[in-house]
Amino acid sequence: MAIQQTILITGGAGFIGSHLTRLFVIKYPDQKIVNLDKLTYAGNLENLVDIEGAPNYTFVKGDITDIDLLKQLFEQYHFTGVLHCAAESHVDRSISDPLSFVKTNVLGTVSLLQTAKEYWKDDLANKLFYHISTDEVYGSLGEEGFFTEETRYDPRSPYSASKASSDHFVRAFYHTYKLPVIISNCSNNYGPYHFPEKLIPLCINNILQKKPLPVYGKGENVRDWLYVEDHVKAIDIIFHKGKIGETYNIGGHNEWKNIDIIKELCRQMDEKLGRQKGESEKLITFVKDRAGHDLRYAIDATKLKEELGWQPSLQFEEGLGKTIDWYIANTKWMEDITTGNYQRYYEEQYEKR
């Protein structure tokens, strides 16, 4: 099939990036997808084994802060679209190492913006720089209310501050240079290939291993959870039908206190693993709270629903069930991560070729 256009996905070997890459590679066989990923601890090519041989897919190992590499890739592939997913994404890591978040999330985003601007400057028609961002830029809610696209930015962790900064740069390139951009800000994702440093996969893994389930503080913090495939479907719709210069909030309308999610995981897993009712709940262990822990996130996704017709397809209990089933069926994926084996995959697959 003749390739019509080439899209750069950054961070395609990560959690959301791998679902996004898979969706685009399979759904758009006449488009070439180039996945640029540094393969940090969070990047795992095993997430993409099912599509790595697809004729419209290419993987490039590299850093989004490497401007020379970015220029070379734009020259080589003539990208018409960028789906920018690469980031340092874990709040706890940003608390212990804020600078690496500034480097990748701010400097990396500006490097990409600058390269796209230079490469596209003579013809901005039919180009799009899509920046994937987070609801954490809006700060923390009290017990009431929702984040809308108009909510004032109020980031409170080094992670969210770096994402907020990158969002501001994206808008600055739109206003200053007319670079065609779109931003979406999404709530917490969950699903297969989620790195086990994050709450849901960490608890699934620990329940499987009968290890303690660490609950920060009292477990009263609330997050709005969305199945990752629903997120990437929203990105697909916004990428193709969204309005240049706009921001779209994406969320699940699905708020859960951390402690209730953990109990639901325990309940479903006891059933699936044939354990006694209440057995896994005994693993719950309250630990020191996260510094500056945001109390509540909740997205109002009305704009996306009314303007582009998107809404989440899965109920949470069902999505959580599918997620647990995936982790139970893919213990090798988890083993490779926890032993560090997954980082050898690149060498075996690519460097020995």
| Contact positions vs ligand NAD (CB under 6 A) | 10-11, 13-17, 37-40, 42-43, 63-65, 85-89, 104, 108, 132, 134, 163, 186, 188-189, 195
- Interacting partner of 11 out of ligand NAD, ligand DAU, none (Cβ under 5 to 8 A depending on kind): ligand NAD
Helices marked H in the chain: 15-27, 67-77, 91-96, 98-101, 109-120, 158-177, 199-209, 228-241, 258-272, 302-308, 316-329, 331-339, 345-346
Q: What angle do CA 24, 349, 111 make, to 5 degrees?
A: 55
- Residue closer to ligand DAU (CB basis): 278 or 292: 292
Q: CA 138, 144, 148, 154: dihedral to nearest 10 degrees?
A: -20
In the complex, the smallest distance separating the C-beta of residue 203 from ligand DAU, rounded to whole angstroms, is 8
Let me know if 135 is a catalytic residue.
yes
- Interacting partner of 290 out of ligand DAU, ligand NAD, none (Cβ under 5 to 8 A depending on kind): ligand DAU
- Residue closer to ligand DAU (CB basis): 70 or 337: 337
Among candidate residues 88, 135, 149, 224, the one labeled active-site is: 135
Residue owning tokens 């913090």: 221
Q: In DSSP terms, which residues pair with 61 in a beta bridge?
A: 37
- Minimal CB distance to ligand NAD: which residue? 14
Let me know if 159 is a catalytic residue.
yes
In the complex, the smallest distance separating the C-beta of residue 353 from ligand DAU, rounded to whole angstroms, is 33
- Minimal CB distance to ligand DAU: which residue? 134
| Contact positions vs ligand DAU (CB under 6 A) | 89-91, 134-136, 187-188, 198-199, 202, 214-216, 221, 223, 258, 290, 297
Contacts of 298 (CB under 8 A, 6+ apart): 141, 145, 146, 147, 187, 222, 224, 251, 255
Let me know if 260 is a catalytic residue.
no
- Interacting partner of 7 out of ligand NAD, ligand DAU, none (Cβ under 5 to 8 A depending on kind): none
DSSP state, 198?
S
Chain-centre distance for alpha carbon 308? 21
Are 77 and 62 within 8 A, CB to CB?
no
- Residue closer to ligand NAD (CB basis): 185 or 280: 185
In the complex, the smallest distance separating the C-beta of residue 1 from ligand NAD, rounded to whole angstroms, is 28
Cite the active site residues: 135-136, 159
